[in-house]
A = this chain, B = another copy of it.
C-alpha cells in the first residue's frame, strides 16, 4: 500500500514537470503525458532494470515510446533520475547529466529534448525516433530479436497509444512477435480514448483491443492504468510463452482539471494556469494518500553482460575475389555463360557477408526466392528473419536490430519497399545502419506489369543522397545501382562496410558482365566505358546495357558515345562534370523510372556552371505488361532506338 502511495506521489511529481515543460516550451502534449504518468513511473522507477548513468549498457531493459508525443513524461523521469544524455557513448558536445532545470529547454534548438523521441539528438534512453505513429512495436520487435540472439536477459517494453493502434503496422508487428516467439517483449496499450480530432473509434476501445490481441495470440492483461498495484501485477505476468500485452485504461490529462474538459490533445496550458494545475494534481494525490509517501527505491542497475555479443569491424574483413565468390555460391556455371542477374549475385554476396561478419542479419518479406536473400537464409538460417508480406514492420524491426548493433539487410521487390517509405525516413532520423535492397527494379521485369515495378524509388532515395549526414561528409543514404555481376558483388561489399543507411537496386534479367572481374568500385564512383566520345550516355543498373545498345546504333551513324555508369550516389560531382566535358559536353541520361532520378542529378551537376548540356530519357508513361523487356522499354520510350534518337536530337539542338 505504501508503494502505491509512493507511485502516486512520483507520478504526480512527474506530471507537474511534464505540464510545466510544455507550457514553457509553448507546445507539446501534456495531456497525453499525464495519461502515462503512473505507467511510466512504474516502469522507470520499479520494473525496468537499467542504469540511467549508462544508457548504453547492453544489459539494460529498454523502453520504446511508440506514442512519441507523450515523451515529456519520460523526459521528466529521466531528469529526476539524473540520466545520462549525449549522442554517442564516446562522449560528445551534448554529453552530460539531465537535470530537472533542463526540462524547460524542451524543443529548444540546443536541447537534447526533441519534440518526439530522437536518440540521435542526444537522448540515448531511446533506441529509435518515433512520432510518426504505429512504428514502435516493430522497433521493439527488432530489439527483442537482437536480445534473444545475444543471449541478453533484457526486456523490451513498448508503449502504444490507442489511437495509433489503428495503424496496420501495429498488427504486422503483433503477428511478427508471435511468429518469432518474442516473449521478452511487453507491449502496453495506453487507452485514454481521446485522439487528436475526436475520441478514438470503438474499434480502438480497450475492450476491443484486448479481444484483438487475444485473437492475434497474445497474453492479455486488462488494467486501470492509474492503479499502481494493477500495473505491477500486469508487468509481472511475463512467464507465458506468448508475448504480453497490457491494455491499460487511462485518463488523458489525469489529475489536471482543465484538461478533463474538452479535447486538449497537443495543447499546453498557458503558464499562468500552472499553479491551478499543480493544485489540482496535489489534490488528486492527497485523495490517493500520496502526500508524504516515501520515495520509490529503484532496483539495482544490471551488471554489464559477461561477454559482449560477437562483432567484427565490418569494414576490415577481407572478401574473396569475385570469381571465387561466384563459384563457392553455385553461380560458376552462370558466370561461365556470362549471364548473371544482379539480384542473384547480391544474394551470393550477402551470404559471404554473413560468413565474414557475424552481425550481418537478413530480413525478407516472403520473396526470398525472388530477391535471392534465400542464399543467405540457407547458409545462415539463425540470422535470416522471415517477415512475411508486411514491409512496414520489416523496416522498423530492422531499425531495432540496428540499434542493438546488427547490420540488417532488408529485402523485397523495390516496389514493395515503397510500402515502408515513412519507416525508412524514421530509420534515417534514427541514423539506423540498415541496408535496403529492392529487386525487380524499374520496368525490365516486363510481364508482371506496373503494380510490381519500382518507378519512384530513384527519386525518393536520391533525395536522401543530396543531404549530408552528421559527419558532414557521408550522405543520409548511399544509393547503389549495379549494372552487372561484378558491380553487384562489390556494391554489396561496400554497403556492408559503410556505417549508415544504404539502398540498392537489383534487376530481374540476366545480363552479361560489363566490368572486368578485378575492377574496383567505391562509394560515389562511376564507371566510364569508351571515354572521350561525342556524347555521353549516362545510365545505371539495367539501363547501362540498353545504353550500350544505343551507343552501337549511334556508332553506325558515325557518332561515338561514351557510356557513364552511375553505380553509386551521391556521385563525385566534379569528377562527373569532368567526364561529361570530355564527352562532347553533352549528356543524355537514360532511366527506366519516372522523373527526378539520374536525369535530374546530372542536370544539377551540369547547371551550376552551365558548360554542359544534358537531357533525360525517362519512362514517359505508366507501364503495362509486355512479354519481354525490349517491348516494355520501347512502350515507355526508353528502348535503345529511342535513346539513340534522343541523343541525336540533343546533339543537333541549337545551342543558345
Contacts and interface: CB of A to CB of B under 8 A. Distances in A.
Contacts of A447: 25-28, 107, 115
Contact of A367 (B197, B366, B389, B452): B197
Given A131-B452, A167-B390, A175 B201 contact: yes
A384 B386 CA distance: 39
A621 B378 CA distance: 40
Contact of A459 (B118, B134, B169, B463): B463
A609 interface: yes
Contacts of A168: 134, 167-172, 390, 392-393
A166 to B, nearest CB: 5
Contacts of A195: 366, 388-389
Q: How many copies does the complex hold?
A: 2
Interface string A421-460: 1100110110000000000000000011111100110111
Interface string A278-319: 000000000000000000000000000000000000000000
Interface in A349-392: 364, 366-370, 374, 386, 388-390, 392
A204 interface: yes
A606 to B, nearest CB: 5
- The interface size bin for chain A is 35 or more
A3 to B, nearest CB: 35
Contacts of A619: 467
A572 to B, nearest CB: 16
Contacts of A179: 201-203
Interface stretch (A47-55, A240-248, A556-564, A596-604): A596-604
B129 A450 contact: yes
Contact of A196 (B111, B169, B198, B367): B367
A519 interface: no
A203 B176 CA distance: 9
Interface stretch (A95-103, A411-419, A483-491, A522-530): A411-419
A61 interface: no
B608 A653 contact: yes
Contacts of A129: 450-451
A83 interface: no
B451 A131 contact: yes
Interface stretch (A33-41, A324-332, A622-630): A622-630
A469 B614 CA distance: 24
A108 B620 contact: no
11 contacts: A107-B449, A109-B627, A113-B625, A133-B416, A168-B168, A168-B171, A197-B368, A204-B388, A600-B601, A607-B612, A608-B653
Interface of A: 25-28, 68, 107-109, 111, 113-116, 118, 120-121, 129-134, 163-164, 166-172, 175, 178-179, 195-198, 200-204, 208, 211-212, 214-217, 364, 366-370, 374, 386, 388-390, 392-393, 415-416, 418-419, 421-422, 425-426, 428-429, 447-452, 455-456, 458-460, 462-470, 476, 593-597, 599-604, 606-616, 618-622, 624-627, 631-632, 635, 650, 653, 655-656
Given A166-B390, A197-B386, 8 more contacts: A115-B448, A133-B416, A163-B366, A171-B171, A208-B215, A458-B463, A460-B463, A467-B618
